């Protein structure tokens, strides 16, 4: 499965949420049974500082939801970041990157 690139926008100081439907190459729902998801945001791929998204999986619909609280987004400097979603199968231990992309953090005024 090719890793789709999906760019997102995060508003500094605001709650962030995004939901992604994970699909196979034939557009069928990806099997998320026995999977856990981890999603991180970094300034660049080798940055030692990362910010974690809270992840929620809905197995029946193949959806992975990312959340980041305003407490976390308020610590982000405006600019370009990179993120990805990594699934781990608890049955096999197989790790699969299912989404990746850029995240543009816009500065807050209020």
For the chain, which residues make up each domain, given as ranges?
8-106
76, with CB counted inside 10 A (0-12, 13-18, 19+), is buried
pLDDT digits (tens, 9 = 90+) for 71-97: 999 999 999 999 999 999 988 889 999
Q: What CATH architecture applies to the domain 8-106?
A: Sandwich (2.60)
Round to whole Å and give the CA distance between 66 and 28. Answer: 21
The whole-number average pLDDT for the span 4-16 is 96
pLDDT exceeds 80 at position 1: no
The mean pLDDT value of the chain amounts to 93
Pick the closest to residue 52 from 64, 65, 66, 70 (CA basis): 66
Instruction: Check: CB of residue 65 under 8 Å from CB of residue 56.
Output: yes
């Amino acid at each position: 499965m090719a890793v789709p690139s999906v760019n997102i926008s995060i508003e500094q100081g605001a709650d962030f949420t995004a939901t992604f439907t994970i699909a196979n190459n034939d557009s069928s729902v990806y099997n998320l049974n026995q999977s856990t998801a981890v999603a991180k945001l970094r300034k660049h791929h080798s940055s030692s500082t990362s910010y974690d998204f809270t992840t929620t999986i809905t197995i029946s619909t193949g959806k992975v939801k990312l959340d980041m609280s305003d407490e976390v987004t308020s610590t982000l400097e405006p600019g370009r970041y990179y993120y990805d979603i990594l699934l781990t199968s608890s049955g096999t231990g197989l790790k699969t990157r299912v989404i990746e992309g850029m995240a543009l953090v816009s500065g807050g005024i209020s």
